[in-house]
Amino acid sequence: MKKKIALFLIGLLFLSGIFLGIEKAGEKSKHSTITTTTSTTSTTTQTNKQKKKNAVKSELPDVSVKDWNLLLVNAHNTVKDRQPNLTSLANGQQLDEKVYPYYVQLSEAARQAGYTLLAISGYRSVAYQQQLLNNDIQSYLNQGYSQEAAKKKALEYMTEPGTSEHHTGLAIDVLEQTWYEKGNALETSFGETKAGEWLAQNAATYGFIIRYPKGKEDITGIQYEPWHLRFVGKENALYMAKHQLVLEEYLALLKD
Ligand SMILES: [Zn+2]
């Protein structure tokens, strides 16, 4: 009896050995199939990427990275003594005089769509930016943050003096009057309002871009700001909107 059980167990081990072998071989072939498929897919993606890049480049407007309206200002490109000729809006906010007429057109189009744009902040001098930053840091210090944490927190939404687009007169923060009167300020939820959506969809027609869009924070270095408009001119703005490029990406494409 014991012998029979032993034989049975040996037989069982033998069979399971074969079974495992088949299984392993099956797995192996499955793996190699997957590997082949993956490499084919990545080749296809690369070709598509290249094709897409070429298509994108063929439609590029005939402009120069040195154009005044393409001035790049960010953490790595500070403003050096740019003193624009300014024009004041009705509420005292200022813009570069060359940008002003386009902002008026944008406001008028918004009004016709049922939204009253409110200019919150246009041109700011470097000194004024420093003061705003200091105030913001102080408010975080008052909330109990350490000096270092307060500065970090403040710089999530504010730029170091000299690195703000507001020094150029080419940028303006806008909200919608009714929304603002309900007690809202520069909050990301503005982007989800009807006015915020209208702005994102129509600003390019008047030469403006939403400079810090969602999902591009790693390139712009700035959190999503649905209210911050930057003038770049109509053809640049329309191209950037169509291809979902931020200014940094667009300039890189022009330089290519
Ligand atoms: Zn801004």
106-151 per-position pLDDT tens digit: 999 999 999 999 999 999 999 888 999 999 999 999 999 999 999 9
Q: Both 26 and 90 in a single domain?
A: no
- pTM across the whole model: 0.74
Range of the domain at 80: 68-124+164-255
Q: Both 81 and 35 in a single domain?
A: no
Ligand 1 centroid to Cα of residue 123, in Å, is 9
The distance from CA 209 to its chain's CA centroid, rounded to whole angstroms, is 11
Q: Both 104 and 219 in a single domain?
A: yes
Q: What is the mean pLDDT of residues 211-225?
A: 95
Q: Calculate ∠ Cα 99-103-104, nearest 5°.
A: 120
Ligand 1 centroid to Cα of residue 100, in Å, is 16
State residue 49's pLDDT score: 66
Ligand 1 centroid to Cα of residue 22, in Å, is 64
Closest CA to 105 of 250, 229, 236: 229
- Evaluate if residue 14 carries a pLDDT over 70: no
Ligand 1 centroid to Cα of residue 86, in Å, is 17
Per-residue model confidence as pLDDT tens digits over 44-86? 555 666 766 666 677 899 999 999 999 999 999 998 767 899 9
Instruction: Report the run of H or E that residue 210 belongs to, with start and end.
Output: strand 208-212
State the total domains in the chain: 2
Banded pLDDT at 256 (limits 50, 70, 90): confident
Ligand 1 centroid to Cα of residue 37, in Å, is 47
Ligand 1 centroid to Cα of residue 165, in Å, is 7
Ligand 1 centroid to Cα of residue 172, in Å, is 6
Per-residue model confidence as pLDDT tens digits over 178-197? 999 999 999 999 999 999 99
Hey, what are 77's tokens? Answer: 């490109």
